[in-house]
Amino acid sequence: MSNLRKNLRKWTALLLGDYRFEKRGGNGGGSSPIELLTPDSEFTRIPPNSFSSVWKPVWYTGWHTGVLACATSVVVVLLINVSITIYVATNPEYKMEGGIGTLYSGSCDKSKTISLWLHLGINALSTLLLSGSNYTQQCLSAPTRSEIDGAHARKQWMDIGVPSIRNLSRIKAERALLWVAIGFTSIPLHLLYNSAVYTTLAANEFFVLLVTDNHFGPGAYTEGPVSQILWSRRTLLHNVADMREYDKIGYPTDSHDAQLFKSVLEEGNTNAQSYEDLTPSQCTDLYNMDFVSGRRNLFLISNVSSDAMYKSTFIDSWTAHREVVLPSRWMCPKILHHPSKCNPNEVPPRVASGLPWLINIVPWEEAEITGCKSEKVVEKCKVQFSLGIMIAVICCNLVKACCMVMAVVRSREPTLVTLGDAIDSFLRIPDPTTMGICFADRQYIEKEWRRGWRAGPRPWKRKGARRWWTSVSKRRWIICNFFCSTAIIIAGVLLVLGIVQDREFLSTDIKSLGFGQVNSVSLVTMHFRNTTQAILLANLPQTIISLLYLIYNSLFTCMLVSHEWSLFSHHHRALRVTSPRPGQRSTYWLQIPYTYAIPLMTLSALLHWLTSQSIFLARVDIWDPFGREVTRKISTVGYSCIGIIFAISLGILALLTAAGMGCKPFAGEITTVGSCSAAISAACHAWGADSGGIVRKKIRWGDVEIVPNLRVRHLTFSSEVGVRKPSFGEVYAGVGRGNE
């Protein structure tokens, strides 16, 4: 009957989650040192594929709720992507051409604004996907108690509370596969997502026509010989059918191009509403750009009058070519010996200040420009959309959402996701493999415990609280600093190369090239066989930034795990667990509080956006001077030195912030366990008959009084008021088999 009552008490304790110490009868019924129930006991063993009765159903536990929230956000992003894709693919206003859809066509300024907001949205959604993936992966790699017990039995330890790759070989294969699937689907998302939507600029080649001051006077225009006009355009006018230039065999002098060019010179065309009178200052401002979109052919009215030298009011003409760097050099005086020294950016401020705008007619004669007539045209810039890229993004997005839902549905056994989960588990079911080493830190576990060395009482040799950086392993610090510094150095080298290339053509500062804008100077001098290659190169930095964010995030996670651990040495506090019992705190975050998580997510989104403005896909459609057809398409990678400078500055600030956080002292003196499961377990061998029940109370870690005959003190968790911090030089040891 006595044994029956004892077994009933044990079963009651198991069902209530209140694992108590049991006294073991000695000879003559005397008491022996207190022994903890082991996880191998028939009363404490939990089936690995079933719910523990002390845990709520999975749909209501903390981390499951968090993963469901992440899955919901991923599904929302999926719906947004699918909706935009369907809208663009079925939009009757703009038809799909070669897998490319159009979201908007028209004003270039509006196109840039739409593209800016779309990329901000894409980077926000991308950050949401990255954060949700990181959250779910951390939950999937979190070990169960049975997996920890198995690892400790082999003298191995597992990570608790941090993103972990080392755990993947020790956790259930299904969870490891889900972890891998979520991780691999992130690569194409960040490699392609930013280039799914891009702006295609529309630039116009145009004729610059130098005419006399009376060209537009009534009856003043006289048409010169056709051969003279055509000869001046011999390098520009060609037969569209066979590309023969003027004066080549087979070129018809009455070709459509020639007739169009002649019509441009006619006075009637310039009197149309499509032409606008401009001052020289207005003219230089509007045409001093690499890609002119809202303007086309330009008449420069000189102070030269028609006389015997000029049989026609037409003097000369040029064409602003898109094939050359700085095509607006035509507005500079023609310097015979040093034409490359001309910088068109210097002309507008000179003209605006009142200085004359001079153009060389012949080497020995200059003409001053007194006015202009500019042809206004409708802009044709586009915000375009790649159907193939979006399909790839949607597929990865769908796989990610399914994996997150499966992570919730298939995770039947409770996992130790947070530090509070681990403390709760080890206090209720003490781990016999870590008894007697209450002073153990991560270094001790690595150097002595793993080798099976027997531990004895040891003096406490620490004075004062340690710094946050000590909680992160040297390997993790080296990896984070190495990869982040390497990325910053490479970006710095590329910045120098970009500045050198820009300065080769510009004497002004690089800010004149704009922020994230396509121009004829800041282009990667590399041949791309197709647009896909340019897209991959433009978005490779996005993938690198995502990987660096995960490394950087894990650094903060490690420091904040140890910060939370140190708080238990500073004051009594309730356990923060994913499935709280009475007296415990629930949590909706893992180890990084919102006060840190939100700035980190903002940093990631901002860095992704700055990177998208630093190196980007550059697409330009070049229209002929008559506005009939696109003569050439530019599809390459552009860069912005200003964007790179901002991105590098933010990266350096992030590294300095991590270093500054590492210098913060912990709240109290406590063993530096980091995320090491064995070191956490060693600190959780409580003393007293109600050692399992203290998980429902506010507890503190420190020096507690133990049975006098052991002659050493003990460091552990206790809910009593008399817990004090460890004393320097005091000898401490754990309780249990290790010190009997």
Summarised one tens digit per residue, pLDDT across range 344-355 is 777 888 888 888
214, pLDDT greater than 50: yes
Q: Report which of residues 677 and 734 the model is more confident about.
A: 677
Helix (H) or strand (E) holding 530: none
- Asked, for residue 291, whether it belongs to a domain, the answer is yes
Burial group, residue 30, by CB count within 10 angstroms (0-12, 13-18, 19+): exposed
Q: Which of the residue ranges 115-124, 184-193, 580-589, 654-663 would you say has the lowest mean pLDDT?
A: 580-589
Residue 61, pLDDT > 60, answer no
> Does 705 score more than 50 pLDDT?
yes
- pLDDT of 8 strictly over 60: no
Residue 352 lies in a domain: yes
Mean pLDDT for 23-28 is: 36
* Beta-bridge mates of residue 724: 703
pLDDT at 337: 42
Kindly state the average pLDDT of the residues 322-328. Answer: 60
Predicted confidence band of residue 444 (pLDDT cuts 50, 70, 90): confident
Q: What is the mean pLDDT of residues 363-389?
A: 84
Flag whether pLDDT at 329 surpasses 80: no
Q: CB neighbours (10 Å) of residue 542?
A: 22
| Most confidently modeled range among 73-82, 514-523, 714-723 | 73-82
Q: Give the pLDDT score at 217.
A: 66
> What sections of 359-386 are H helices per DSSP?
none
Angle between helices 594-614 and 108-141 (to 10 degrees): 140
Q: What is the mean pLDDT of residues 419-448?
A: 86
Least confident range of 9-13, 96-100, 311-315? 9-13
- What's the rounded mean pLDDT across residues 564-571? 86
More confident residue, 624 or 479: 479
Range of the domain at 238: 201-382
Q: For the chain, first and last CA: distance in Å?
A: 32
State the pLDDT at residue 148: 92
Please state the rounded mean pLDDT for residues 370-396. 88
Q: To which residue do tokens 């870690």 refer?
A: 701
Task: Tell me the range of 26-35, 401-410, 645-654 where mean pLDDT is highest.
Answer: 645-654
Residue 335 lies in a domain: yes
pLDDT confidence of residue 220? 55
pLDDT for 650:
93
Of 240 and 657, which is predicted with more confidence?
Answer: 657
Backbone angles phi, psi at 207, to 5 degrees: -85, 135
Question: Per the domain annotation, does 317 fall within a domain?
Answer: yes
Nearest to 421 by CA among 684, 667, 68: 684
Average pLDDT, the chain: 76
Q: Is the pLDDT of residue 177 over 90?
A: yes
Residue bearing the bigger pLDDT, 101 or 308: 101
Over residues 326-336, mean pLDDT: 64
| 140 close to 181: Cβ distance less than 8 angstroms | no
Number of domains composing the chain: 1
Of residues 475 and 711, the one with the higher pLDDT is 475
For 635-639, what is the mean pLDDT?
85
Question: Quick one: 325 exposed, middle or buried, by C-beta within 10 A (0-12, 13-18, 19+)?
Answer: middle
Q: Is the pLDDT of residue 739 over 60?
A: no
pLDDT band at 364 (very low <50, low <70, confident <90, very high): low
181 vs 348, higher pLDDT: 181
Which pLDDT value is given to residue 508? Answer: 53
Phi, psi (degrees; rounded to nearest 5) at 636 = -150, -165
Cβ neighbours of residue 53 closer than 8 Å, sequence gap 6 or more: 15, 17
For residue 79, name the pLDDT band (cuts at 50, 70, 90): very high
Query: Is the pLDDT reported for residue 46 higher than 50?
Result: no
* pLDDT of the residue at 178: 93
Q: What pLDDT score does 237 carry?
A: 45
Mean predicted confidence (pLDDT) in 130-147? 88
Q: Measured between alpha carbons, how far is 55 from 409 in angstroms, rounded to an integer?
A: 15
Does residue 251 form part of some domain?
yes
Q: Burial letters for 336-367: b for 16+ Cβ neighbours within 10 Å, e otherwise?
A: eeeeeebbbbebbeebeeeeebbbebeeeebb
CB contact at 8 A, 17 and 24 = no
Any domain includes 320: yes
**Which three-class secondary structure state does DSSP give residue 651?**
helix
pLDDT at 25: 37
pLDDT at 688: 63
* Domain annotation covers residue 359: yes
The pLDDT value recorded for residue 51 is: 36
CA dihedral sign of residues 347, 349, 350, 356 = positive
pLDDT single digits (tens) 251-279: 444 455 566 666 666 644 555 667 888 89
Residue among 172, 118, 120, 119 nearest 141 (CA): 172
Range of weakest confidence among 339-348, 522-531, 637-646: 339-348
Question: Strand 358-362 vs strand 365-376: parallel, antiparallel, or unpaired?
Answer: antiparallel
Tokens of 195: 């280039």
Share of the chain above pLDDT 70, in %: 75
CB atoms within 10 A of CB 578: 27
Any domain includes 235: yes
Helix (H) or strand (E) segment spanning residue 188: helix 173-192
Least confident range from 292-296, 323-327, 608-612: namely 323-327
**Cα→Cα distances 668→465, 571, 577, Å:** 5, 9, 21
Q: 627 vs 12, which has greater pLDDT?
A: 627
pLDDT at 17: 37
Place of tokens 């002292």: 665
- DSSP for residue 134: H
616: tokens are 């980007």
Long-range CB pairs of 527-530 (<8 Å, 24+ gap) are: 528/635, 528/636, 528/637
205 vs 734: which has the higher pLDDT: 205
More confident residue, 737 or 77: 77
What residue has token string 């690892």? Answer: 151
Q: So what's the pLDDT on residue 176?
A: 92
Interatomic CA distance for residues 270 and 40, integer angstroms: 96
Task: Of 326, 325, 328, 319, give the one whose Cα is nearest residue 287.
Answer: 328
CA distances to 192, 239, 624, 683 from 448, rounded to whole Å, are: 48, 85, 78, 16
